[in-house]
Amino acid sequence: MALASVLRTADPHIAPAAFPLLTAPRDGPGPPGGLAAPPWGAQSPLPGPGLRLLHGTTTLAFKFDLGVIVAVDSRATAGSYIASQTVQKVIEINPYLLGTMAGGAADCSFWERLLARQCRVYELRNKEPISVAAASKLLANMVYQYKGMGLSMGTMICGWDKRGPG
């Protein structure tokens, strides 16, 4: 609405009246029209089916015609303690592949570095870089052996191969 009023266009599709103001839904504590998030103080459980909110790393990857864009937050926490504000959570596997870290830093770092070595071995044996799908499957197969043993790792493998971005 603000942009349309600044531009002062006569086009009815872009006119300010075409963009009604939206109101936030009121389904949480607070005054009418307030945000749904509870205050920072002591939090009481929300009514409902007893959902537990999980906190952790935010990892995004977007695939488009020319490549991929990877975005990850940079905060490392240990419970409520913020261990670092500047953690590098994107790991270069090779010049065409990136891996993201979420979960235990030691687990993620170890397995993605091991994946980088295995991808290099693949490249030396086959004289071509590994595909994104094959690298992802390779990591899944390596980690699957340790299923149920307490690994704390969430990762995304993305990059560019001969089929394009993936």
pLDDT of the residue at 120: 95
Query: Which DSSP letter does residue 88 get?
Result: -
pLDDT of the residue at 124: 96
- For residue 52, what are the CA distances in angstroms to 18, 98, 148? 39, 31, 22
Token code pair at residue 66:
């020319």
Of 93, 101, 156, give the one whose Cα is nearest residue 120.
Answer: 93
Catalytic residue, chosen from 9, 57, 58, 155, is: 57
Q: What residue ranges of the chain are covered by domains with CATH 3.60.20.10?
A: 59-165
103-137 tens-digit pLDDT: 888 888 899 899 999 999 999 999 999 999 999 99
> CA 13 to CA 3: how far, in whole Å?
13
Q: Going by CATH, does the domain composed of 59-165 fall within 3.60.20.10?
A: yes
Tell how many helices (H) and how many strands (E) occur in the chain: 3, 8
pLDDT above 90 coverage of the chain, percent = 23
pLDDT of the residue at 118: 94
> CA 91 to CA 100: how far, in whole Å?
6
Please list, in sequence order, all residues whose beta carbon lies within 8 angstroms of the beta carbon of residue 44, skipping any fewer than 6 positions away. Answer: 29, 38
> CA 32 to CA 13: how far, in whole Å?
31
Extract the residue ranges of the chain whose pLDDT is less than 50: 1-7, 14, 19, 21-24, 27, 33-35
Query: Which DSSP letter does residue 163 get?
Result: T
59 is catalytic: no
